[in-house]
C-alpha cells in the first residue's frame, strides 16, 4: 500500500546557533563603552578633542545597545530553553542586571554629549526614556534575581561572587543619572519627588551592597583567590562605591532647586562626608584587585567577557572623583579622576579589541566547555 509522504512545512523557522550562548553578560560591552563617554564628559580638566571623542564613543555605545537588544530578543525567541536556563543558573542570572545599566549608561551619555549630534531636545527625550525603562528594569532585577537566588538557585557555602552585586547596583546607577533630569521637571512636588526617589534608590542599593560585600571578602579569606577567569570580577566591587559617590555628588548639585534650603545644605555636606571616605575605600579595593589580577595574569589568566569588569566600575570612580573635585575644589581629586580615566580608556581599548577577535573567531559565542575544578589556595 502506498503511503503518503509527510508534507514539508512551507516556511521553516530558522535557527540561530550563534545566538544560543549570547548571555546577558554581553550588555557589559555597552556599559563599558558608554561609561567612557559619561566619564569623559564629567572630567574637570579641559582636554582638546575630548568631547568629540566622547560623542563618537557614545554613538558606538548606542549602536551596540540596539544590536544587542535585537540579538537578545532573537535569543529569547529561538533559544527560550537556554534563556530560561540562564535565569536558573546562579553564575549567569546576576548578569541580567546589566541590561538596566546598559540602558541607563547610554541614556546618561545621550544627555551628556548626544545633544551635539541629535540636538538638545531629542537627546533629553531619549535620555529620559532610557532612564525610565532602565530604572524599571533595574528595580525588577533587584527583586527578581535575589528571589531566584533564595528559592531556585543552589548556592554552595563559600561561593559568594562579586557578580552578585550586579542586580542590586543597577538602582544606584539610576540614582546617579536621575539628577540630570530633575532640573527639567516642573518646580515643586515633581522635583522633590524625583530627588527623594533617587535617594531611596541610593539607599536600597547601598544597603544591599553592604549585605553582599562581607560575603565576598569572607569567601576570599576562607577559600583563597577566585579562579583565574573570574579574577577580573573583583573590579565589580568598585561599581557601587564609585557610583554611590557619583550619586551623592550629583544629587547635591540639584538639591537647591528641588528641596528646602536647610536640607539642600545638609545634602551638600553629606556628599563630601560620604564621598571622601568611600572613595578612599574604593582606592584600597582597587589596589587589592590590581594585585590579584597581576597574580592571575602571571598564572595564565585567559581572556573572557569578565575583562569588561575593568571598564564600567572604573568609570564610576572617575565620575565619583570628578564630583568630589567639583564640591571640594581640590585639584588632587581632579588629577585622580584624570588618571583613572586614562586607565579606563586603556582597559576599554584592550577589552574591545580582544572581544572583536573573539567574535571573528567565534570563540566567544561557542558553547561553554566543562567547568574546571576548583583548585586549592596556592602561594
Give per-residue pLDDT as tens, 252-272.
Answer: 999 999 999 999 999 999 999
- Whole-number average pLDDT of the chain: 91
User: Which residue's entry shows cell 580638566?
Assistant: 45
94 Cβ neighbours under 8 A, 6+ residues apart: 145, 161, 163, 164, 165, 166, 167
pTM as predicted: 0.90
Are residues 234 and 219 in contact, defined by beta-carbon separation less than 8 angstroms? no
Residue 302 has pLDDT above 60, yes or no: yes
Which is nearest to 246 in space by CA: 291, 198, 293?
198
How far, in Å, CA of 254 to CA of 21, rounded?
Answer: 43
- Complete domains list, the chain, with CATH: 19-363 (1.50.10.150)
Average pLDDT over residues 353-358: 94
Please report which confidence band the pLDDT of residue 71 belongs to, taking 50, 70 and 90 as the band edges. very high
Residue 375's pLDDT is what? 39
Please report which confidence band the pLDDT of residue 19 belongs to, taking 50, 70 and 90 as the band edges. confident
- Across 46-116, the runs of DSSP E, i.e. the strands, are none
Q: In angstroms, what is the C-alpha Rg of the chain?
A: 22
- The Cα diameter of the chain in Å comes to 94
Amino acid at each position: 500500500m502506498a503511503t503518503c509522504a509527510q508534507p514539508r512545512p512551507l516556511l521553516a523557522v530558522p535557527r540561530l546557533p550563534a545566538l544560543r550562548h549570547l548571555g546577558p553578560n554581553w550588555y557589559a560591552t555597552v556599559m563599558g563603552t558608554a561609561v567612557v563617554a559619561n566619564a569623559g564628559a564629567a572630567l574637570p580638566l579641559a582636554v582638546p578633542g575630548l568631547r568629540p571623542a566622547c560623542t563618537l564613543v557614545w554613538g558606538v555605545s548606542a549602536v551596540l545597545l540596539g544590536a544587542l537588544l535585537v540579538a537578545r530578543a532573537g535569543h529569547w525567541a529561538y533559544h527560550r530553553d537556554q534563556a530560561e536556563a540562564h535565569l536558573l543558573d546562579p553564575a549567569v542570572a546576576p548578569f541580567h542586571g546589566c541590561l538596566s545599566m546598559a540602558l541607563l549608561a547610554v541614556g546618561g551619555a545621550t544627555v551628556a554629549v548626544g545633544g551635539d549630534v541629535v540636538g538638545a531636545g531629542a537627546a533629553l527625550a531619549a535620555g529620559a526614556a532610557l532612564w525610565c525603562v532602565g530604572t524599571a528594569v533595574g528595580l525588577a532585577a533587584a527583586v527578581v534575581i535575589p528571589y531566584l537566588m533564595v528559592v531556585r538557585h543552589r548556592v554552595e557555602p563559600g561561593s559568594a561572587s562579586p557578580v552578585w552585586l550586579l542586580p542590586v547596583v543597577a538602582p544606584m546607577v539610576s540614582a546617579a543619572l536621575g539628577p540630570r533630569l530633575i532640573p527639567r521637571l516642573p518646580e515643586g512636588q515633581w522635583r522633590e519627588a524625583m530627588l527623594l526617589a533617587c535617594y531611596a534608590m541610593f539607599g536600597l542599593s547601598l544597603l544591599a551592597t553592604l549585605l553582599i560585600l562581607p560575603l565576598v571578602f569572607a569567601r576570599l579569606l576562607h577559600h583563597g583567590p577566585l579562579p583565574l577567569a573570574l579574577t577580573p570580577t573583583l573590579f565589580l566591587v568598585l561599581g557601587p562605591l564609585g557610583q554611590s559617590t557619583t550619586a551623592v555628588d550629583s544629587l547635591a548639585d540639584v538639591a537647591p532647586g528641588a528641596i528646602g534650603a536647610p536640607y539642600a545644605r545638609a545634602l551638600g555636606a553629606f556628599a563630601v562626608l560620604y564621598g571622601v571616605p568611600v572613595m578612599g575605600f574604593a582606592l584600597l579595593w582597587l589596589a587589592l584587585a590590581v594585585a590579584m589580577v597581576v597574580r592571575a595574569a602571571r598564572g595564565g589568566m585567559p581572556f573572557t567577557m569578565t575583562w569588561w569588569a575593568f571598564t564600567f566600575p572604573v568609570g564610576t570612580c572617575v565620575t565619583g572623583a570628578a564630583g568630589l573635585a567639583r564640591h571640594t575644589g581640590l585639584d588632587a581629586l581632579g588629577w585622580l579622576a584624570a588618571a583613572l580615566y586614562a586607565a579606563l580608556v586603556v582597559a576599554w581599548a584592550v577589552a574591545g579589541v580582544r572581544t572583536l577577535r573573539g567574535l571573528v573567531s567565534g570563540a566567544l559565542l561557542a558553547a561553554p566547555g566543562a567547568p574546571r575544578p576548583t583548585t586549592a589556595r596556592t602561594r
